[in-house]
A and B are shown apart, each in its own frame.
Chain A
Amino acid sequence: MKAKGKVHKYGDNVDTDVIIPARYLNTSVPAELAEHCMEDIDKSFVENVKPGDIMVAHNNFGCGSSREHAPIAIKAAGISCVIAATFARIFYRNAINIGLPIMECREAAEKIENGDEVEVDFDSGVITNVTKGESYQAEPFPEFIKEIINKGGLLNSLK
């Protein structure tokens, strides 16, 4: 499985309150959440994002609240993969559980710039920066987590 798209780049500690502000948590409809994704730090994100685009950030992406609305909003906005140097742990779980692909790769987080065209190979963990002609190797998922993903998410894996 692969993803390919244009990069929306952010910094350290992108928290769940900016991914989806709590004032919009009176809904759990993915499309409604997506309309407000990232708006407190990047008003243009919702206008500019195209299906398949990729989000890249530095350390501790998704810190703060446990709201699953955060990865749901990102996924519903059309993002095909989030790459970060590190993820906050609840966001990491939630992304896996709802099927939003994520990749931990410090080198990619450092070298990829806003607007770069990037391709991600989920099986090999290779991230290719088409714009810069570089590639980076992400940490592969542990087998245990691969199994959850392969079974179509956490709840499917319980059946």
Chain B
Amino acid sequence: MGMTMTQKILAAHAGLDSVKAGQLIRAKLDMVLGNDVTTPVAINEFKANGFDKIFDKDKISIVLDHFTPNKDIKSAEHCKQCREFACAMDVTNFYDVGEMGVEHALLPEKGLVAPGEAIIGADSHTCTYGAVGAFSTGVGSTDMAAGMASGEAWFKVPAALKFNLIGKPQKWVCGKDIILHIIGMIGVDGALYKSMEFSGEGLKYLSMDDRLCMANMAIEAGGKNGIFEVDEITKDYLKDRVNRPYTVYTADADAEYEKVYDIDLSQIKMTVAFPHLPENTKTIDEVGEVKIDQCVIGSCTNGRIEDLRSAAKVLKGKHVAKGIRALIIPATQKIYAQAMHEGLFDIFLDAGCVISTPTCGPCLGGHMGILAKGERAVSTSNRNFVGRMGHPESEVYLASPAVAAASAIKGYIASPEEV
């Protein structure tokens, strides 16, 4: 029996000729990631268990992105602990305020993830790097500590779901709409323990920013990882970023999938996920009038340059509705500079938006845009759980940057075609 892309990468990293779904393996890691929320717990575990050396100073990334710039004293202490550890261990890829970005936008941008690599991160959205053809999955802090010490992690080899993408998306439909559509279809545990493998001729219509967004949300379907077939678009993206050799794995013709879904991209409409689960999706024409108080455009899902361009296209020459707070959060310093140089900041500022330094901030109800009781936000982030962006009785609606921008102008969830 043949192997999927994920299974081939895991076999190679476990030193095995082949693996099959359900097999428990120990695999070598190419990158171990943590942030300012999860790394302190990992450092405590690392030290409490008597470890004093990391396995490879170039293969650990620590990014201070969640509650930074430090939102309070306790967060400042956590960041200080990360900073001191990174310095003591001489961690090459340590990113503090001024260099940092939202981790899952930053690592691909810097070429720290490449096809065929095996990556763990103490953050559930580590699955993002499947967009470049890597095996990449979220773990907890203890796994991060073990990974930093040993350079290895244990995995149960996942079974797979194949998403065969065909057709060309309609105007305004982007990676976010496609992945929300898929999660709406299979549910928040539809890919539980499984890999979501994306391929098909429709890939050629999906930019890297679309793919990063889609792989990012594999976890919202319960997936262990999401992974895209590597093509010319991927290679072009990696050209100036990754100098080390990498291996491109393609699935065997007889690879086993628990299910194959044919997804006709041309049939997908703009999609919004209603509270309080990402699977509660409606197409834009089914939404009805949902008044909002806040619009957030950013996060590891949709804080990349194409997302900001898409929002700017909608907001250009317009103004956000009275009483609506519109927050724009470029995901990295580079994206921030690029958006500024392209003139997007003028569009956002003229429209009455505020522009934040890179941070995860409001996405997880940390800071920079918390909701009061009864308030509603439309957000380009990835989760709309109870209390995710603030008060337990607030609500989050997940949407694409274009829909979020149109909603800010209208004051209720709207299509960019309406503005």
Residues of A with Cβ closer than 8 Å to B?
A: 13, 15, 17-18, 21-23, 25-28, 39-41, 59-60, 63-69, 71-72, 86, 88-90, 93-94, 97-98, 142, 144-145, 148, 153-156, 158-159
Contact = CB atoms under 8 A, between A and B. Distances in A.
B127 to A, nearest CB: 10
Contacts of A144: 24, 154
Given A28-B44, A97-B142, A40 B149 contact: no
B50 A66 contact: no
Given A22-B365, A64-B124, A97 B24 contact: no
Given A13-B188, A142-B24, A155 B142 contact: yes
Given A68-B122, A158-B49, 8 more contacts: A13-B277, A41-B392, A66-B124, A86-B189, A98-B142, A154-B146, A155-B51, A155-B142
Interface in B149-197: 149-150, 154, 188-189, 192-193
Interface residues of B, number: 54
B192 A155 contact: no
A89 B222 contact: yes
Contact of A155 (B72, B145, B365): B145
A63 B222 contact: yes
Contacts of B390: 23
B41 A68 contact: yes
Contact of A26 (B41, B71, B146, B387): B71
Nearest to B142: A97
B3 interface: no
A28 B385 CA distance: 22
Contact of A66 (B45, B72, B139, B145): B139
Interface string B334-377: 00000000000000000000000000000011100010000000
Given A68-B38, A142-B24, A153-B142, A15 B385 contact: yes
Given A60-B192, A68-B142, A22 B40 contact: no
B416 interface: no
Contacts of A60: 188-189, 192, 222
B386 A18 contact: yes
Contacts of A13: 188-189, 277
A149 B340 CA distance: 52
A17 B386 contact: yes
B77 to A, nearest CB: 8
B75 interface: yes
B326 interface: no
A158 B192 contact: no
Contacts of B188: 13, 60, 63
A113 B392 CA distance: 25
State the 10 A-B residue pairs at the shortest beta-carbon distance, nearest first.
A94-B140, A26-B74, A97-B142, A68-B140, A60-B189, A22-B364, A40-B392, A155-B49, A66-B124, A144-B24
A16 B37 CA distance: 14
Contacts of B150: 158
A72 B24 CA distance: 25
Given A60-B192, A65-B364, A40 B387 contact: yes
Contacts of A97: 140, 142-143, 146
B154 A18 contact: no
Contacts of A15: 383, 385-386
B224 interface: yes
14 contacts: A13-B189, A21-B392, A22-B365, A25-B66, A25-B67, A26-B72, A27-B74, A41-B386, A65-B383, A86-B192, A93-B139, A97-B142, A97-B146, A98-B142
B193 A89 contact: yes
Interface string B74-98: 1100100000000000000000000
B123 interface: yes
Nearest to B25: A144
A16 to B, nearest CB: 8
B138 interface: yes
Nearest to B391: A40
